[in-house]
Amino acid sequence: MPEYPSLQKQVNNFKTSFAHVTLSLANKKYRKLLKVPKHIFKERISICKDCERYVEEHHRCEECGCFVGIKARVGVEGCPLKKWSALT
Ligand code: SF4
């Protein structure tokens, strides 16, 4: 059974992600970083699939509780274990 972070921690993670996306939308310079190019998305997913914290049956990260298929698409998002970085 996967052990995701507490619900409160997941809510806080979501709030942080939402804030990053909102700030990016508000700033023209970062807007283009919202959706990563396909090759970066594939690279991130590949790293996640090899990660011990990846839960294949739910396509989620046990470390942050995020859905990997969404997290890896967002340029301003980064891996909580620093296995891949946010675009800057
Ligand atoms: S986001 Fe990071 S910690 Fe989570 S599954 Fe992907 S590589 Fe692992």
Can you read off the two tokens belonging to residue 75? 């340029």
Phi, psi of 60 (to 5 degrees): -125, 160
Mutate to test the pocket of ligand 1, among 83, 84, 85 (most ligand atoms within 8 A of CB): 83
pLDDT at 50: 98
Total of domains in the chain: 1
Q: How confident is the model at residue 84 (pLDDT cuts 50, 70, 90)?
A: very high
Which residue owns the Cα nearest ligand 1 atom 7?
Answer: 48
Cα of 26 vs centre of ligand 1, distance in Å, is 27
Strand segments (E) across 24-68: 54-55, 60-61
Inside any domain, residue 48: yes
**Threshold 0.85, pTM exceeds:** yes
d(CA 17, CA 47): 20
Inside any domain, residue 24: yes
Query: Could you list the residue range(s) of the whole structural domain that residue 14 is in?
Result: 7-71
Inside any domain, residue 85: no
d(CA 61, CA 50): 12
Inside any domain, residue 81: no
Cα of 30 vs centre of ligand 1, distance in Å, is 23
pLDDT tens digit sequence for 31-48: 877 889 999 999 999 999
Inside any domain, residue 62: yes
In order of 49, 70, 84, the CA distances from 33 in angstroms are 23, 14, 15
Cα of 72 vs centre of ligand 1, distance in Å, is 9
DSSP state of 78: -
Inside any domain, residue 2: no
Whether the predicted pLDDT of 88 surpasses 80: no
